Structure 1
Amino acid sequence: MQAKILLMLSFLGSTTLLFSQNNLLETELILSDMLLISERYVAPGADAAAYQATGGWASTAKSLELFEIDASVHVNALFIPNRRRSFTVANSDFNALRIRGGETASIPTVLGGDTAVFFDFELGGEPNELQAYEGINENQLYHPFLQASIGLWKETDLTVRYSPDIAISDTEYGILGLGVKHSVSQYFNRSQDQDGAIKNQLEVAVQVAYSRFNSGLTFDPFQIEDPDAEDGDSPLLLVNQLDVEVDSWLFQTIASKRYQNFEFFGGVGVVFNDARFIMNGEPGLVLGLLNSLLGNLDASRTVVKGDVGVNYHIGDFYLSNAFTFGEFANYNLSIHYKI
């Protein structure tokens, strides 16, 4: 990775006056250190997005009737555990940066809060400093979306979910997804009453769903000053937002059972996640370099999660409460109307 950084800086150094030859090696080492911090900083954001993108896909294993429609409004609440809010770094991790006042420090991830940790380094023979990235400083992340399902042949449901880019506090969210659920219960003998109707029994289904989830997480500015800058010049780097784009594939099994107006359900699923990160701030050469390097990170994740929930039916409406548990806890509240 360091060889790639040096190659990029050498090319850019030959085409711009921003980096002097003396600053080239120093900047390579600083970028290498920043990439190490950035990778640990952004990873929890990708994991959180996997839970946000896959919560609430199914609230029952029972299939809709042919061409019956289930329209719903959802709100996700993701709870951020303390263990994903920070990580530890040591001076031995770095080439150019040095932790001010200590050998180790705990600094925030993108899901964390504020920090007073500074790093010291030299650039162009001049002492410089930068404050560690700060997080979004939230305990929960909320995300609303719309969802609709239609019953098809062979007890198969097609589900679409959508949300435009919505800003809540210092975060923005948007999602587009498509899912298919298929009843497994239909392949087993079902008990019937005297009128030939299928008796209420345990329903089992499988589901596969794809989601593209976008989030923009805003934090306090992080910057590096240019040692050769004059008054009024822009900093070498200024970052104040992380954009996360996640493609998620969910494969899950769902079971449900209805007792009068109440319906209880649960499921187990595996999520295959592929994330991309973009740092946003003041456009500049170093920001472009950092994003190019972030683009080469292996951000693929596999997440195993469980879901439990309960629905309450009133005529053609029902209210659904679902809890997802795993590395993160997610609560999904939805109101459904069947047509």
Structure 2
Amino acid sequence: MKRFFILFLFVTNFSFSQSEELLQDLGYLIDDALFFSDKYITPATDAAVYQSSSAWVTSAKKRKLWDVTLGINSNFFFVPNRDREFKINNSDFSLLTIDGATSATVPTSLGNDYQVDLIGDLDGEQIRIETPRGIDQNIVFYPHLYGAVSVWYGTEILVKYSPKVNLKKSQYQVYGFGLKHNISQYFKSLETRKINLSTSLSYSNEDVSFDFLDVQTNYGNLGINQISGLVDTFQFQINASKEYKNVEFLGGIIANVSDFKYQLTGPKGAIEETIPLQKLLNQRLEEIYKTKTNFMGEISGRYQFSKIYVQTTIAFGKFVNSNVSVQYEF
């Protein structure tokens, strides 16, 4: 990385003697930002998986060809206490130190709005950075749209979409699609007893963004004010249901695999006129990319009023996520 900087500065006619200390300090600052970003945003991306995984299956029964279901879903994610904060020590950092202390407890992206000052020396100039705030909410709410179309052989095409929702100091968006197939159609004894079985496969993309580190220097803003977690999730689900007149009770088991990527997505800083810092940081963020597997359970109840359905769903595992949906079938 230092060789890249030296080459870049040589091309732009910068003096090596003026730049050597700056390059070293920026390298340390990048290390510190990498450490902090992993601790700060990972709880939110873990939670995003639960938010996107819930309420894919509204019913396990087989529908008629070309039946269409449209729904408006209200998602409620309960933020657990254990993922709201983390501890930092001066020994965790290469350039920065905690102002007036050797250790501190700071919020994750899911935490409160408490802030701690970090200070450091960048090319002979003292910089002061406030740690980023959390969303400071016990329950995170977001709406999304749901649609399903029944095609051949007891199969449905599923779609889920939400516009970009502005939360406190953050944004969240999810979209995805999937297929559901009815299994109980092959067992007439189950159909006569109004017991339904289905499987589904789905893909979803989650994008969650947070205000991050606002760093002002003699070289201008460093352009690391916003960080985003991008999550691709592939999900397999098995559902069983039992119908009682106008009510259908469902239970499900969910297994999914999620790929987590992280990027700085805010405006580039003034320092970009000299050094492509945001690009370099995004390259370093690849070091904390990860893949995780989750297993969770899901229960729901669905009540019918003519062609209108009201459904409540709870998904549980590491986190608890609930969903309330109003659907119309035609």
CA deviation after TM superposition for structure 1 residue 189, in Å? 4.2
Higher mean displacement: 38-47 or 129-138: 129-138
Counterpart of 2:202 in 1: which secondary structure?
A: strand
The offset of 1:138, in angstroms, is 2.5
Among 297, 313, 317, the alignment partner of 1:322 is 313
Between the aligned partners of 1:298 and 1:62, the Cα distance in structure 2 is 39
Contact persistence 1:312–1:318 (CA under 8 A)? yes
Matched, 1:199 2:192: yes
Distance 2:220 2:91 in 1: 31
Percent pairwise identity: 30
Alignment of 1:291-330 (within 5 A): 291-330=282-321
CA distance in 2, matches of 1:40, 1:56: 29
Gaps of 5+ in 2: none
Counterpart code for 1:199:
T
Preserved contact between residue 13 and residue 24 of structure 1 (Cα < 8 Å): no
Contact 2:134/2:169 (8 A) holds in 1: no
Question: 1:52·1:143 contact (CA, 8 Å) conserved in 2?
Answer: no
In structure 2, C-alpha distance between the alignment counterparts of 1:171 and 1:116, rounded to whole Å: 16
Question: By how many angstroms is 1:277 displaced?
Answer: 2.2
Deviation, structure 1 residue 63: 2.0
Question: Does 2:39 align with 1:40?
Answer: yes
Query: Where does residue 232 of structure 2 map in the other structure?
Result: 247
Match of residue 281, structure 2, among 290, 314, 324: 290
**Counterpart amino acid of 1:172?**
Q
Alpha-carbon distance between aligned partners in 2 of 1:333 and 1:252, rounded to the nearest angstrom: 19
Deviations 1:221-265 (A, max 9, x none): 632232xx2xxx733x25443333221111111111111222111
Tell me how far apart the structure 2 counterparts of residues 38 and 173 of structure 1 sit (CA, whole Å).
Answer: 17
Structure 2: which amino acid aligns with 1:250?
Answer: Q
For 2:205, give the aligned amino acid. R
Displacement, 1:8? 4.5
CA distance in 1, matches of 2:9, 2:142: 43
Of the three residues 227, 237, 242, the one matched with 1:257 is: 242
The answer for the alignment partner of 2:10 in structure 1 is 14
Alignment of 1:56-67 (within 5 A): 56-67=55-66
The size of the alignment, in residue pairs, is 321
In structure 2, distance between residues paired with 1:76 and 1:29: 40
Cα deviation for residue 71 of structure 1 reads: 1.4
Q: Distance in 2 between matches of 1:283 and 1:139?
A: 32
Label 1:52 to 1:8 Cα distance change in 2 as closer, same or farther (>3 A): farther
Which residue is equivalent to 1:234? 220
Q: Mean alpha-carbon deviation: is it higher for 106-115 or for 93-102?
A: 93-102
1:242-299 CA distance string (max 9 Å, x none)? 3332211111111111112221111111121123222244412333332232244223
Q: Which runs of 5+ in 1 are unaligned?
A: 192-197
CA distance in 1 between partners of 2:88 and 2:168 (Å): 29
The alpha carbon displacement at 1:338 in A equals 1.3
- The structure-2 alpha-carbon separation of the partners of 1:32 and 1:57, relative to structure 1 and needing over 3 Å to count, comes to same
Q: Distance in 2 between matches of 1:255 and 1:8?
A: 57
Cα deviation, residue 311, structure 1: 0.9
Counterpart pick for 2:205 among 212, 218, 232: 212
**What is the distance in 1 between the residues matched to 2:47 and 2:214?**
26
Q: TM-score, normalised by structure 2?
A: 0.88
| Bigger mean CA offset, 238-247 vs 21-30 | 238-247
Greater Cα shift, 168-177 or 48-57: 168-177
Q: How high is the TM-score relative to the length of structure 1?
A: 0.86
Q: Residue 94 of structure 2 corresponds to which residue in structure 1?
A: 95
Alpha-carbon shift at residue 88 of structure 1 (Å): 1.5
Aligned CA-pair RMSD: 2.3
Determine if contact 2:62/2:185 at 8 Å carries over to the other structure. no
| Contact 2:135–2:167, Cα closer than 8 Å, also in 1 | no
Which amino acid is the alignment partner of residue 196 of structure 2? Answer: E
- 1:14 counterpart SS class: helix
Deviation digits for residues 81-101 of structure 1, max 9, x if unmatched?
111111112222222222233
Matches of 1:238 and 1:39 in 2, distance apart? 18
Q: Structure 2 CA distance, aligned partners of 1:44 and 1:8? A: 33
Q: For 1:275, which of 251, 260, 280 is the aligned residue? A: 260
Distance apart, 1:210 and its partner CA: 0.7
Tell me how far 1:24 sits from its aligned partner: 1.4
Higher mean C-alpha displacement, 23-32 vs 164-173: 164-173
State the one-letter code of the partner of 1:276: K
Q: Which amino acid aligns with 1:243?
A: S
